[in-house]
Structure 1
């Protein structure tokens, strides 16, 4: 069940969107119960639905997307429903063709999930709707996907260009001759780039999986580190902000990872969920590495365990220059 604050947020977003589209439906909409009949919903989760996107011509909602607090289920025509958790989205892009627009979420395996789309739409309105959905995902998940701007659409005669947001900068790369523009929003906060050279090693798509363990107050640091590792094709698991009875699922994901990375803070063991994961991984002998700010001191409990420690001064990204070679060695060994 959504809280009053969450319901008000979605209601306001849909109200603003309904000035230019009639494809989005929240629980207050009179047509919402009708859309539920054929929409790709999860069983016994109707009260948790944030938003329904109906991509059908006749309004049945059997194709489109259903948004929940921690994930979205999308379904294209003649395809089975696909589910993606917000934390596993590596990129959100707006694809603009001659006669249609599509907001696409790409997961860490490069599978595409349509979040919203419409035929015969103006670019300005498309960015308005897209930003509303991106901000809604950020609001519920704690992710930090950047919003889109109209000036990111840079076209030249005979070709259209695409803008991709990376951890370092905004780069413009020419697209192929098909008439399409992609505007990508990656989950990054602007930071001063490290002076060291980025590691050149690129992990294979089926490379090592990393589980990031952190206190909630360090979520932004964890997201930044996770997205930087994902740019090197390191598959990262970042625990969602809202977990509805999902502790067992998180522990299963934990034991499916090959390396457990602890973003250390002095009181991390006082966090119940962190303490459970740290204890379980130690008992199971999961490969573990600790990231330590030089201003902090390891507790006696951590010093007593044979954890490799990687230190950084101010910027968390400094850890990548030791963490990535460490993971590379583990790939070679495993």
Structure 2
């Protein structure tokens, strides 16, 4: 559905997007993550034809966004970070204007306006001035205009920014619903939101693509060894003996909490951390030493995000220092 190849955008000596290449299939919800200044909005603006590229190509359903912009843009619905709303108009009036700009006319225009108003939950505010609507409803109007023309691809830049928790849940449910009929790409700073909604995640840092995978695959790739914490009805010596010789335990910390009870933190190199926890349960149970607590640390998207972006930043700094050193020697 979308092919991005060697996409680069430079502003003078600053490279905002650095040789990005990825392919997005149809019928999925994709999350676009990156720290502030990573190049997310720049990439989205290029993908939608709102910004030129220094080099590289973007194809939407086979049409090049730079060489065949009219055909490519017909297949895209876009909500920028700041929705382009006319505050003195009502949602119905504004959507009529956008629909006409997209080439819709007559019955088709009326039908699509009614459809997007219904899908985005704007029925009871369709004739109120946009300036009088809450932030959440303004976002809904912005999403509604992106849906006009029935585009195959919906691109949403920070669609939940500035919303209250209830509004965030409502927009999140709307995005899930859109993903059933469209390919949806949205950027967000709310990592749990991306993990909940998205089937695949793109992470960029300093203009570079550093990860593109399903959330569970990112977890397996980055958060090993796994961690298990437990509290056993056993003293420190007994706990140490029971843990002795266990496979896949690479590191352990044992602390006696009170007489007859011990806490332990274990790290494992096993891909399936639950197999290790099951073996622990069986071993302590067979010895007559009950496990009072046991927690398995599952991968967290926030940790993945921090690990990837920090490691990329460190590598770039080392590269810059190395290049600076070579220049000084020269």
- TM-score normalised by the shorter chain: which range applies? under 0.3
| Larger Rg belongs to | 2
Q: Which protein is richer in helix relative to its size?
A: 2
Q: Could you say which structure has the greater relative contact order, defined with CA pairs below 8 angstroms and 6 or more residues apart?
A: 2
TM-score by length of 1: 0.24
